[in-house]
């Protein structure tokens, strides 16, 4: 049976989609304070944009520090001093034989952007300090052959290569080691951004590694398909990055994690290209399956150039939903029963009380009937149902599938929720919860201007440990904040973002007010390190999907046996004996 493949056109850049060099996201989008007390999100690409948020600033003052004001600013000093490029003439001459001038740049600002990800440490240094080492050159390959020749040239001239996708990582994976004496070249994959083909009969697509998530989703949808992989960073992260970090998405219940979606991968290594001519539904081919080595490799073994992935027909129906619970304990008990007695919807996310309160402040100003409706709903939940505003939590839901599947899932979900004192919160609140995912990502850069440092980190834990991980990490952070006598109150929150038969993924959010604090970013990193220590002590994993990079590599001996640590180093030595891919993530620099 012959399969007719579809070859989509290359994605087209749209006016206004330019990304910021100094903060998260699009250049036209940022939070700002209007008239001293009302917060707005600029631009028009998000539902939240342009709306008055009259409660946000007051809540931040009450929850963290009263001096968070429009006139209490910590202005950014971006750009920082940019280190001089260390250029190797012989290498540049060789790559000039197969790359054109537009594919090679030592522009300082291009180098700077490719020298960091999105950790609080990197963003603080970018605005108020300096990055001691950044790439010396940026190259833009356009074909697999370009990447192969580039790796060969790096091997010939002892040059260090660091792959670059969307720059969204939060593990310091892109930061350059200060002691790296070799020339560092950032391999920007943005020109390898196409869906090469779609196979509608066999439900597969071949996609280049530099393709950005939002473009993948839009182009597949034009032909009636979805990959279903939707991390919170989908607007900017790339397929290659998802593979390299072993990523997960918010709809993994229906579509799977990245390892469930990738059928084959092409990788250029220092010892040659790993590729195969065909893709089968499943194979037993020994240890030569490149996928097993490349998932989570974080640029340390080679450069992913393309992958064949599973795709799915667009769902017939999509519905949002939400549930309010009296406590986090009620919500977790609901999630546990959901995984035991029903099929979880495409996405289910439970936020704790602190995050629930924050979400309420991100609602636009209500007027007229909407204001009356909002007041009635609050009265009903608190006075009639008896929910404590300082304890209640919320769960947001996305149902996808056939109309019959969606209806069946909704029936079972709400029936189970009722057994755990859950109350329907409505489809509108569920939809808003998911739309806010993208707007909230801009909050951290806004509050940094007002002396607030913030970061998220994640873990996974068995059901039996989940609540202990949540409670113990929060308590540890409160203690760390208190013993340093830091100003104000710490913001500490968590949410459950993915569920499995054996446990959950838990996201933590932490922020503190740092005006008057010496070395505030280092202090934050110390507390974050303590929080990860507590995660491991309480039974959590080192990471669920953010990866290791450099920020977590010191913890590896606590989760890997000595034999596993040596195994990892031996793999690196065998695959990349001269350390061409020298970002130094996961301790690979020990080679």
pLDDT digits (tens, 9 = 90+) for 27-53: 999 999 998 899 999 999 898 899 999
Kindly calculate the radius of gyration of the chain based on its CA atoms and give it in whole angstroms: 24
**pLDDT tens for each residue of 58-104:** 999 999 999 999 999 999 999 999 999 999 999 999 999 999 999 99
What's the rounded Cα separation, in Å, for the pair 220 and 209?
Answer: 15
Q: How confident is the model at residue 590 (pLDDT cuts 50, 70, 90)?
A: low
Closest CA to 309 of 391, 376, 227: 227
Q: How confident is the model at residue 375 (pLDDT cuts 50, 70, 90)?
A: low
User: What is the average per-residue pLDDT within 457-477?
Assistant: 98
Neighbours of 318 (CB within 10 A): 13
User: What is the average per-residue pLDDT within 258-285?
Assistant: 94
What's the rounded Cα separation, in Å, for the pair 163 and 176?
Answer: 12
Residue 451 among the catalytic residues? no
Q: Which of 202-216, 277-291, 501-515 has the lowest mean pLDDT?
A: 277-291
Tokens describing residue 5: 């493949």
Q: Mean pLDDT score of the chain, rounded to an integer?
A: 95
Q: What pLDDT score was predicted for residue 458? A: 98
Angle at which helix 520-537 crosses helix 463-483, to 10 degrees, equals: 150
The CA-to-CA distance between both ends of the chain, in Å, stands at 49
Supply φ then ψ for residue 64, to 5 degrees: -125, -60
8 Å CB contact between 146 and 187: no
What is the torsional sign of CA 507, 439, 329, 318? Answer: negative
**pLDDT tens for each residue of 384-418:** 688 999 999 999 999 999 999 999 999 999 999 99
**pLDDT > 50? residue 591:** no
**pLDDT tens for each residue of 309-332:** 999 999 999 999 999 999 999 999
Closest CA to 355 of 281, 440, 413, 296: 440
**pLDDT > 80? residue 421:** yes
What is the share, in percent, of the chain residues with pLDDT greater than 70?
Answer: 96
Neighbours of 75 (CB within 10 A): 8
**pLDDT > 50? residue 255:** yes
Containing 150, the helix (H) or strand (E) segment is helix 144-157
Q: What pLDDT score was predicted for residue 282? A: 87
Burial label, 312 (beta-carbon count in 10 A; 0-12, 13-18, 19+): middle
Burial label, 529 (beta-carbon count in 10 A; 0-12, 13-18, 19+): middle
**pLDDT tens for each residue of 472-497:** 999 999 999 999 999 999 999 999 99
Residue that is written with structure tokens 């409660």 in the block = 55
Closest CA to 347 of 216, 257, 222: 257
**C-alpha 71 chain-centroid distance:** 32
8 Å CB contact between 422 and 350: no
**pLDDT > 70? residue 372:** no
**pLDDT > 90? residue 377:** no
User: What is the average per-residue pLDDT within 209-234?
Assistant: 98
**pLDDT tens for each residue of 511-537:** 999 999 999 999 999 999 999 999 999
**pLDDT tens for each residue of 538-574:** 999 999 999 999 999 999 999 999 999 999 999 999 9
**Catalytic residue selected from 124, 438, 507, 509:** 507
Q: How confident is the model at residue 250 (pLDDT cuts 50, 70, 90)?
A: very high
Length of the chain: 591
Burial label, 278 (beta-carbon count in 10 A; 0-12, 13-18, 19+): exposed
Q: What pLDDT score was predicted for residue 376? A: 52
Residues 6 or more apart in contact with residue 28 via CB below 8 angstroms: 16, 18, 42, 43, 45
Residues 6 or more apart in contact with residue 166 via CB below 8 angstroms: 212, 213, 233, 236, 237, 238, 241
What's the rounded Cα separation, in Å, for the pair 226 and 420?
Answer: 34
Q: What pLDDT score was predicted for residue 370? A: 62
User: What is the average per-residue pLDDT within 144-160?
Assistant: 98
């Amino acid at each position: 049976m012959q399969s007719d493949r579809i070859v989509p056109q290359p994605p087209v850049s749209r006016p206004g989609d330019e990304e910021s060099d100094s903060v998260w996201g699009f250049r036209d989008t940022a939070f700002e304070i209007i008239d001293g007390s009302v917060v707005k999100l600029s631009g028009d690409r998000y539902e939240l944009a342009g709306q008055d948020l009259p409660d946000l600033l007051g809540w931040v003052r009450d929850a963290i520090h009263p001096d968070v004001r429009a006139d209490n600013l910590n202005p950014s000093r971006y750009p920082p001093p940019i280190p001089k490029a260390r250029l190797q003439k012989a290498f540049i001459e060789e790559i000039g034989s197969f790359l054109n001038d537009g594919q090679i740049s030592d522009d300082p600002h291009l180098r700077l952007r490719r020298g960091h990800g999105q950790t609080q440490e990197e963003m603080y240094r970018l605005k108020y300090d300096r990055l001691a080492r950044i790439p010396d050159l940026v190259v833009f390959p356009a074909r697999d052959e370009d990447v192969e020749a580039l790796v060969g040239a790096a091997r010939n001239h002892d040059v260090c290569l660091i792959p670059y996708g969307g720059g969204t990582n939060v593990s310091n994976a892109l930061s350059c080691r200060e002691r790296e004496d070799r020339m560092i070249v950032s391999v920007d994959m943005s020109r390898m951004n196409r869906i090469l083909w779609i196979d509608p009969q066999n439900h597969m697509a071949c996609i280049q590694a530099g393709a950005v998530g939002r473009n993948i989703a839009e182009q597949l949808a034009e032909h009636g398909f979805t990959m279903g992989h939707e991390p919170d960073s989908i607007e900017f992260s790339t397929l290659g990055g998802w593979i390299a970090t072993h990523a997960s998405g918010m709809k993994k219940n229906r579509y799977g994690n990245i390892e469930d979606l990738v059928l084959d991968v092409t990788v250029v290594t220092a010892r040659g290209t790993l590729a195969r001519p065909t893709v089968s539904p499943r194979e037993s081919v020994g240890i030569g399956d490149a996928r097993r080595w490349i998932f989570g490799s974080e640029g340390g073994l080679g450069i992913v150039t393309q992958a064949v992935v599973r795709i799915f027909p667009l769902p017939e129906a999509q519905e949002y939903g939400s549930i309010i619970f009296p406590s986090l304990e009620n919500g977790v008990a609901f999630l546990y029963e959901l995984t035991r007695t029903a099929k979880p919807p495409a996405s289910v996310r439970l936020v704790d009380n602190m995050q629930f309160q924050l979400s309420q402040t991100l609602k636009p100003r209500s007027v007229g009937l909407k204001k009356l409706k909002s007041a009635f709903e609050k009265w009903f939940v608190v006075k009639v149902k008896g929910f404590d505003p300082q304890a209640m939590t919320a769960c947001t839901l996305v149902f996808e599938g056939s109309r019959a599947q969606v209806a069946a899932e909704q029936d079972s979900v709400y029936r189970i929720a009722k057994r755990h004192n859950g109350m329907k919160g409505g489809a509108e609140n569920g939809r808003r919860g998911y739309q806010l995912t993208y707007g909230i990502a801009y909050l951290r850069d806004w509050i940094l201007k007002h002396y607030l440092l913030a970061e998220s980190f994640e873990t996974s834990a068995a059901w039996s440990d989940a609540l202990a991980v949540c409670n113990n990490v929060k308590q540890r952070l409160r203690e760390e904040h208190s013993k340093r006598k830091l100003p104000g109150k710490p913001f500490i929150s968590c949410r459950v973002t993915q569920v499995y038969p054996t446990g959950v993924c838990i996201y933590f959010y932490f922020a503190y007010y740092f005006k008057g604090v010496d070395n505030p970013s280092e202090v934050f990193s110390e507390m974050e390190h303590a929080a990860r220590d507590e995660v491991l002590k309480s039974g959590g994993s080192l990471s669920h999907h953010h990866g290791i990079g450099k920020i977590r590599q010191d913890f590896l001996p606590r989760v890997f046996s000595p034999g596993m640590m040596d195994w990892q180093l031996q793999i690196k030595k065998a695959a990349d004996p001269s350390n061409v891919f020298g970002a130094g993530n996961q301790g690979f620099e020990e080679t």
